[in-house]
Structure 1
Amino acid sequence: MLRARAVLSSRTLSRSYATASPPHALVFLEHRQGVLDSGSLSALTAAEQLGGKVTGLVVGASDHVQGVVEKAKKLKGLTSVLHSTSAQYTELLPETVSPLLEKLLSDNLFTHVVSSTSSFAKSLLPRVAAKLDAPAISDVTSVEHDSSSNSTTFTRPIYAGNAIATVRAPSSIPIKFFTVRSTAFAAAPSQDSAEADASSLEPVEVTDSPIQHISTTLTKSDRPDLGVASRVVSGGRALKNAETFASTLYPLADALGAAVGASRAAVDAGYADNSLQVGQTGKVVAPELYMAVGISGAIQHLAGMKDSKLIVAINKDPDAPIFQVADLGLVADLFEAVPELVQKIKP
């Protein structure tokens, strides 16, 4: 695998005192309906590896925030928890949350701002980083802070995971923004014996936001969530149509207790919802078991699942690229192999 090195630079900021501070990371903790996002728990683990204090930030409507704060206070690695509630935070938008984060970073001595690589964070962190004239590093897979030089070194995949870039943010950058790939860090556990301090922040009201939230449509399923499932069964374009995709893959997923995923080709063809897409432009997963059914193994798809612990591929083409990363491969007609496999798995 290729490796590249880079050094970030930034114009000198007026808040130069932050360069001499020991690490103090601010982790943006995302949640939905009172449940902490698993990616945020991985971001907390990454922040803890910096070796300094870690503060969590929870933003949302008052009916959910208090419960989330109580759960966050018991997370391993958190030193303190900040929270802000407002009706405008009922549905988080970068335009309404960024003024709060910008004000918080201007008033405090945080050296790092960390979050998961979520859709919201990818809009929020670069926006605030640009306002503070600081660079933002995305999709980090490892982090190491050197206290002697006060610099932080990150690794992140580039070129669809075919190369790893090593990026060093020197001490001249007062605040370092980065998002983490959740599959690269374990989720921070809860500890009943520990409880971080919590304090509230006044919201920064935004009265002239150019963006308004209209509605949120969520895909509901009784199967495990694709992003955190320990078993995933994914299908590709070879499944012909949406009806065949469902009738072939769903019984196998149910027999294994697995989540269902899809390649981009299958999603673009309308076989599956885009929330099921696995790959460079979809979700990155690393389950204990990943089954690729009728997926050729384009480089963009491999970037989203090649860290899985056990990869099983079923494809009738013996030269399919998926077999190069698979731990177990079956060259067979999936329409014959999958039903037979379901019958053998069923009790």
Structure 2
Amino acid sequence: MDWASRYFEDIGERADYQTLVLRSGEWLEVLLGERIAGTSMRALVVALHVGCGGSPSEIEQRIDRDGWRAGLEESHGVADWPSISILAEQLYAFAIDGVVTDTRLPDDVEARRSHLEALFARAARLMELLPPNWEPNPRHPWSLSGTYASALARWKMDREAPITTAEIARLGRLDDKTVLNALGRQLHPDAKGLIAADEARGWLMGRRPRKFRPSRWLNASDDQDSRSPDRTDNEPDIVMVPVDAHGASFLPTLARQTRGTGSERLGFRIGAKGDEFVVHDYFEALDALKGMHPPRWRRPNAEGNWGIVRGEPNWRTVPRVEIDRLLHEAGFMATPSAQA
């Protein structure tokens, strides 16, 4: 799935770029009068319609008969008009995976950097000029302003600039309280309350490995497509799990009751002493352990007391069907492969 399709699947018609065009026309009517604004908006709507592959004669007839608003409503695919949607799609792709989606660029980091500088300059100008009450669905996480804020947070971090706790929350798709709870223990703000880029990056990779990944544009060999390099279309047949010094593996049987409701009560305590945190998803916990050197997690000893153990360098393979069985027995909901 390309980035444009992925963007539409996640956001779809909620983007509602037609609203921005409608507001522009209404503003021109107040500023210049209905006649001049009508002439201008007629030309604009026709250009939008033709740019999306529509027939100019059909849309011109509709506008002449019913006005430019009716023509805009009939102009299918306005959300796909390049000058409107590509900016948002590119910001979205950068916020999610730190990729540059312009396929015309060479596989060169500096070329990508120049492209991103121009992208954020244009986006900043758009947000500066966009009246607050014009934005469609402003409270949606991937609204135009939300997408820009998430992408800008990554751009700041990629340039090693310190970021706010709110920006960390955006990048990890977390609530602000979760990040604030880590202050002083895992995240150390400076005098202005900002977190160093490398510390924020490391915390996100350990805390949200399935939601946050390092920016891919910095890797010249990365093809920048919509699927991350570590993803496959099908779940793997085997799972790599860490093993402690006693030969015991990190398995779903180590799930414990935590705060929450339903299956969210089950979780895994991982991390070094003083830096532990709970992960409710087994595979997210595995991803977090992969980023630890060495990995550490809690398991019970022979007396039933839970203590922290350290993983050995060699991990072992476990069949995916066995992991799914253990997850089911532990009380987790069925996984995709278990349902197949």
Q: TM-score range by the shorter chain?
A: under 0.3
Bigger CA radius of gyration: 2
- Higher RCO (C-alpha under 8 Å, 6+ residues apart): 1
TM-score scaled to structure 2, two decimals?
Answer: 0.26
When normalised by structure 1's length, the TM-score is 0.26
- Where is the strand percentage greater, Structure 1 or Structure 2? 1
